[in-house]
Amino acid sequence: MNGGFPPPGDAPVFVRVFTLLRHLLQQPFDQAEGVPLPEHLIERTEAIPGAYLPSEAATLRKDIEKLLTPYGFRPPRDNVRHGYAIGTALLSAHRLLEIHGVVSQAAGRLDDPTAQDLLRELEQRLAWGGIAVDGTSPVRAFANRSIVSSALVRSDSLAAERQAEALETAIVERRRIELERYASVGSFADSPNGSFRVWPLQLLFHNIGWYLVFEEDSPGQEEGLIRCERLDRLALRRSERGNRRSDEAHSQALRRLELLLHHSGGIYFGSDIKSQLQLTSPNAQLRAKQLVTLRCCCQGWCFAFIREGLQRYPIEHTRFSKPLAGEHWWHHPNAPHVLEPGSPSDTHPYPVELDLPPWTVERDIDLRNWLFGFGAGIRIEAPAELRQEHQERLQAALAVYARG
């Protein structure tokens, strides 16, 4: 073997290299926008005795190339902007794999175009760090999935990947946009028609697909009606660069949306701006006056399912039956079991009360799918209109089979 010391065997070289290495280990994401990385690192370590001098940027680059690269701190022949394999810094490798599992589920099951981009970048960065993701199965998975395939929608639909990116940009930049709702798609009685201008607020995944939440543009008014529409039913016709609004106006609309989601238990918020504003008012008494009480009585098997869903609707507006005399089923002391049960001889002895917005009781599909799905397990007592609707649906279903 040839004699002599390796480059780090010289004391000053050893000190400066390990000073750099220690700083990278402690501050793996240290950088300053507009400042070259070598100059920035020299400035950050200049107070440490033996560190790089201000004129030694080229020396620092050579140390990375000749010393850190051969020892595996960054892949050879790779761009230095990809960073250094100095540990996973914020999270352990196990935690990063868990994040990969969550993102891959969102990208696959939920068909989220943003998550698909994020997944590709995450897998690339994990590979740079030497963390293998092939063959790993997530511990938690989504059973829900989008019923809409982004590969099979119209090319100008908001559900298409490229259009989704333009929509997200409009949300981030607070732009007003012009949308068109396709004429041939599924519609409800109060669905918008044709073209209309809105302020996009947020993208929500709800049960079966992605929805855009937007605030209708109402010239001369500070607030507009907040609505939801499924992405594949909409096309983005124009994003108005010259029409933007303040972050504060956007944040206020999002706060209203949060309250609407909380009280409604779904994504249908009616079609009356006055009712929306009253329900999202800071005045608690005014909000309470907008709510309608839905009361039904349940059979035992049905009530067992209903009482487990404490967060389906706001718990402060939910009231459940107490146990019948002699029953001992478990419930948490803070659960809202405050109603007196009916007679044990009643087929439906367990009352349930929910205070809901009027639009939820009158027209919400999610409420009906859940409530009517129990069939004869529930008996609706109030409001009378919902009770009548339940009866008519059951009779209509029986009539279909009677004709067969």
Residue type, 145: R
Considering only the C-alpha atoms of the chain, give the largest distance between any 2 of them, rounded to a whole number of Å. Answer: 100
Of residues 56, 83, 55, the one with CA closest to residue 69: 83
Instruction: Quote the DSSP letter at residue 232.
Output: G
What is the rounded CA–CA span in Å between residue 52 and residue 54?
A: 7
Per-residue pLDDT at 67 = 66
What is the rounded CA–CA span in Å between residue 122 and residue 100?
A: 7
Strands (E), 342-398: 350-356, 378-382
Residue type, 329: W
Of residues 311, 250, 260, the one with CA closest to residue 287: 260
What is the rounded CA–CA span in Å between residue 20 and residue 13?
A: 11
Contacts 24+ apart (CB under 8 A), 187-191: 188/363, 189/363, 190/271, 190/363, 191/229
Both structure tokens of 118: 């994020």
The residues pairing with 209 across neighbouring beta strands, listed in sequence order, are 206
Do 136 and 206 form a contact (C-beta atoms < 8 A)? no
Instruction: Quote the DSSP letter at residue 157.
Output: B
Per-residue pLDDT at 25 = 75
Give Cα separations from 328 to 82, 86, 156, 324 (angstroms). 61, 57, 58, 8
Q: Domain 159-279 has what CATH class?
A: mainly beta
Both structure tokens of 380: 């609706």
- Listed by start position, the domains of the chain span 7-82, 88-141, 159-279, 291-403
Map tokens 């989008």 to a residue: 146
What is the rounded CA–CA span in Å between residue 227 and residue 197?
A: 12
Both structure tokens of 227: 């609505």
**Per-residue tens of pLDDT for the chain, all 404 residues:** 455 566 667 788 888 888 888 887 777 667 777 778 788 888 888 888 888 888 888 888 887 777 666 655 555 555 555 544 444 456 677 778 888 888 888 888 888 877 888 888 888 877 766 777 776 677 777 788 888 887 888 888 888 878 888 898 999 999 999 999 998 888 888 888 889 999 999 999 998 889 999 999 988 888 999 999 999 999 999 998 888 999 999 999 999 999 999 999 999 999 999 999 999 998 888 888 899 999 999 999 999 999 999 999 999 999 999 999 999 899 999 999 999 999 999 999 999 999 999 999 999 999 999 999 999 999 999 999 999 999 999 899 889 988 76
Of residues 245, 269, 243, the one with CA closest to residue 257: 269
Per-residue pLDDT at 122 = 84
CA torsion, ordered 45, 51, 55, 61, to nearest 10 deg? -90
Do 360 and 367 form a contact (C-beta atoms < 8 A)? yes
- Planar angle of CA 199, 203, 207, nearest 5 degrees: 135
Helix (H) or strand (E) holding 320: strand 318-321
